């Protein structure tokens, strides 16, 4: 009797295993398929963003030629790498699929490093171009102030405003001139080690922008005073 019960139990286990195997296998296949779909979607999102960034960099008038070249190589190189990965992912499964899926984000860092870096370099170069224009404006305003003073007008306040304007422009120059060099060589591995690697450059660009806005406001005030 005992032997019969053991045999019955063993039979049940066997039947369960046979019945369960196709279902588990199907679930495994579903997981692989779902993972592959998620990976391909992740690649496509990045390729789309890279396309737009490459277009933006190509049309940015104020970027220096060197910076445009470096950024374009970085963006296009990443697009080529992701396109290659896309081809592999489409035909992979198991651990190889998982490794390549992980690589899409971790080894490329499109959203948190590559594209924001391009924007920050473009912003820094535009700020430096604005600094150059402000130097011309300061000279013209100084000439106009001198002529107004020669004509007998009290220009004390305007001279003080001009000095403040030049100080803001100098501060913007100091901040913006280091942006590109501080971030152009960063790699995805650098970001993986330290998620704040772009923060100093971002802060420098924001501060320089504020300085330039202040300088712009002062220049307009001086112009308005000269017209009175």
Partner 1 sequence: MSAVTIARRLGHAGIAGVALAVVLGAPGCSARERTAEHREPVQQVQQAPRSGQSLDPDIEDGTTDQDLAEINALLAEVEADLRQTDLDLTTDEGDVR
Please tell me the distance from the alpha carbon of residue 112 to that of residue 150, in angstroms, as a whole number: 56
Number of amino acids touching partner 1 (CB under 8 A) = 50
47 binds partner 1 (CB under 8 A): no
Q: Which residue has the tokens 């370099």?
A: 121
98 binds partner 1 (CB under 8 A): yes
Least distance (Å) between residue 122 CB and partner 1? 5
Among 81, 88, 93, 148, binds partner 1 (CB under 8 A): 148
202 binds partner 1 (CB under 8 A): yes
For residues 181 to 200, the per-residue mask of contacts with partner 1, x marking binding by CB under 8 A and - elsewhere, is -----------------x--
Q: Which is nearer to partner 1, 181 or 223 (CB)?
A: 223
Query: The dihedral of CA 216, 220, 222, 226: what is its sign?
Result: positive
Q: Which is nearer to partner 1, 88 or 216 (CB)?
A: 216
Query: Residue 178 is encoded by which pair of tokens?
Result: 């280091």
Q: Which value, to the nearest 10 degrees, does the dihedral of the CA atoms of residues 132, 136, 139, 140 take?
A: -150
Please tell me the distance from the alpha carbon of residue 108 to that of residue 186, in angstroms, as a whole number: 12
User: Quick count: other Cβ atoms within 10 Å of Cβ 212?
Assistant: 23
179 binds partner 1 (CB under 8 A): no
133 binds partner 1 (CB under 8 A): yes
SS (H, E, C) 117-129: HHHHHHHHHHHHH
CB contact at 8 A, 171 and 211:
yes
DSSP letter string, 107-162? TT-IIIIIHHHHHHHHHHHHHHHHHHHHHHHHHHHHHHHHHHHHTT---HHHHHHH
Least distance (Å) between residue 127 CB and partner 1? 6
Least distance (Å) between residue 26 CB and partner 1? 22
Closest CA to 57 of 131, 130, 120, 107: 120
Q: Which is nearer to partner 1, 62 or 159 (CB)?
A: 62
123 binds partner 1 (CB under 8 A): yes
Q: Which is nearer to partner 1, 150 or 185 (CB)?
A: 150
Q: Give the binding site for partner 1 (CB under 8 A).
A: 35, 38-39, 42, 49, 60, 62, 98, 101-102, 104-106, 109-112, 115-116, 119-120, 122-123, 126-127, 129-130, 133-134, 136-137, 140-141, 144, 147-148, 151, 198, 202, 205-206, 209, 212-213, 216, 219-220, 223, 226-227
């Amino acid at each position: 009797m005992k032997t019969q019960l053991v045999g019955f139990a063993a039979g049940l286990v066997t039947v369960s295993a046979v019945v369960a195997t196709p279902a588990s296998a199907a679930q495994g296949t579903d997981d692989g398929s779902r993972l592959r779909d998620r990976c391909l979607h992740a690649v496509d999102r990045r390729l789309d963003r890279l396309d737009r960034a490459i277009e933006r960099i190509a049309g940015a008038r104020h970027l220096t030629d060197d910076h445009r070249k470096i950024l374009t190589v970085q963006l296009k190189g990443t697009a080529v790498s992701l396109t290659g990965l896309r081809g592999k992912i489409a035909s992979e499964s198991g651990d190889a699929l998982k490794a390549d899926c992980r690589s899409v984000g971790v080894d490329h860092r499109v959203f948190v490093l590559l594209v924001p870096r391009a924007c920050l370099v473009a912003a820094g170069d535009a700020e430096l171009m604005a600094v150059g224009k402000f130097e011309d404006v300061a000279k013209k305003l100084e000439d106009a102030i001198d002529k107004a003073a020669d004509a007998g007008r009290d220009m004390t306040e305007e001279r003080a405003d001009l000095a403040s304007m030049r100080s803001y422009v100098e501060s913007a120059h100091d901040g913006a001139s280091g942006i590109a060099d501080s971030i152009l060589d960063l790699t995805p591995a650098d970001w993986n080690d330290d998620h704040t690697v772009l923060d100093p450059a971002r802060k420098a660009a924001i501060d320089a922008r504020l300085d330039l806005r202040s300088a712009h406001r002062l220049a307009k005030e001086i112009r308005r005073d000269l017209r009175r």
